Every structure is written in C-alpha cells, then in structure tokens.
Amino acid sequence: MEKKLILEVFVTFEPSAITRLTGPGGEVVSIPFGGTARGEIFRGDVCPGACDVQTVNLSGVRHMCARYMLRGEDSAGQPCQIFIENNGWFTEPMAPGAPFRTVPTFWTDSAALAPYLHRRAFAGEGVPGPEGLVIKLYEVL
C-alpha cells in the first residue's frame, strides 16, 4: 500500500488517570490523553476530553477507539478544528515497540481541508515516541 504522511499526533497521558473494568466478558480500559499535532495539513493541540477506549474480549482481541478534537491552524493558516475517530483491532501480545495499525475518520470545519479529509482514504499507525505515543496519519494513495 502506497501512502503519504499528512499528520502526526504526539500523545501524552498520565498513567494514574487510566481506568479499567474487568469482568466475565473481558476488559475495558479508558485512557484520557492530551498532546500536540503537526504535519502538512495542520498544526495545533489535542483538546481536553480526548480519550482512547480499549476493549479486550475473552479471545484476547483488542479493539481500540480513540476520539479526539484538534484545535489549531489548517494548511491555509486559518483557525480550525479537526475531530478524529481512530479505530484499530489487534491481538495480544504485541511485540514491544511494534506499531499498531488504525483506520481514522475525520470531520473538520476547515474550508481548505474538508474536501480532502471527507473524501479520501486514510490509514493510521501508532508507534512509541520519546514522551508517549506518536499517531502517524497517512493518505492512502
């Protein structure tokens, strides 16, 4: 798959803010986070309220769904917001440092970015970073 990097989200989180529920059907983990974003289409910050919710079923399949709003400037230098829902599925255990793959969906109020973000195909990848996690978002070419 040929792809082009369009945006990186540098995720930071506080381990003490993570909450868990473990029951007979599996586990749910809620990870609130913050951070910054930069790339060729946007530069800004992760807004308060961002959260990655992960569920693990009895077969060990993990589903992650991160939902977050970015606020900053688009590629035209205009103030804007981008909402991202990033979904991924993977099985345990993952090799330490191995990337995980996601499928992002975008919504934006940016006149410059809306035609692009609302009509193209995208892929994501999460990789460990120096201060947390880096989410790399790509356009699928």
Question: For the segment 14-44, what is each residue's pLDDT rounded down to a tens digit?
Answer: 889 999 999 999 999 999 999 999 999 999 9
Res 120 pLDDT > 70: yes
- pLDDT at position 93: 67
CA distances from 62 to 59, 94, 135, 136 (A): 9, 11, 17, 20
Is residue 41 within 8 A of residue 76, CB to CB? The reply is: no
Query: Cα dihedral sign for 121, 127, 129, 133?
Result: positive
Compute the distance between CA of residue 53 and CA of residue 13 in angstroms, rounded to an integer: 13
Asked whether the bond before 93 is cis by omega within 30 degrees of 0, the reply is yes
CA–CA separation, 123 vs 102, rounded Å?
6
pTM of the model: 0.91
Domains along the chain with CATH numbers: 3-140 (2.40.160.20)
pLDDT at 92: 61
Of 5, 14, 65, the residue nearest 37 (C-alpha): 5
Q: For position 121, what pLDDT does the model report?
A: 97
Span 60-80, mean pLDDT?
96
Select from 73, 80, 76 the least CA-distant residue to 110: 80
First-to-last C-alpha distance (Å) of the chain: 8
Residue 91 has pLDDT above 90, yes or no: no
Tokens encoding 127: 């990789």
For residue 104, whether the previous peptide bond is cis, meaning omega lies within 30 degrees of 0, is: no
Instruction: Give percent of the chain above pLDDT 70.
Output: 98
Amino acid at 60: G
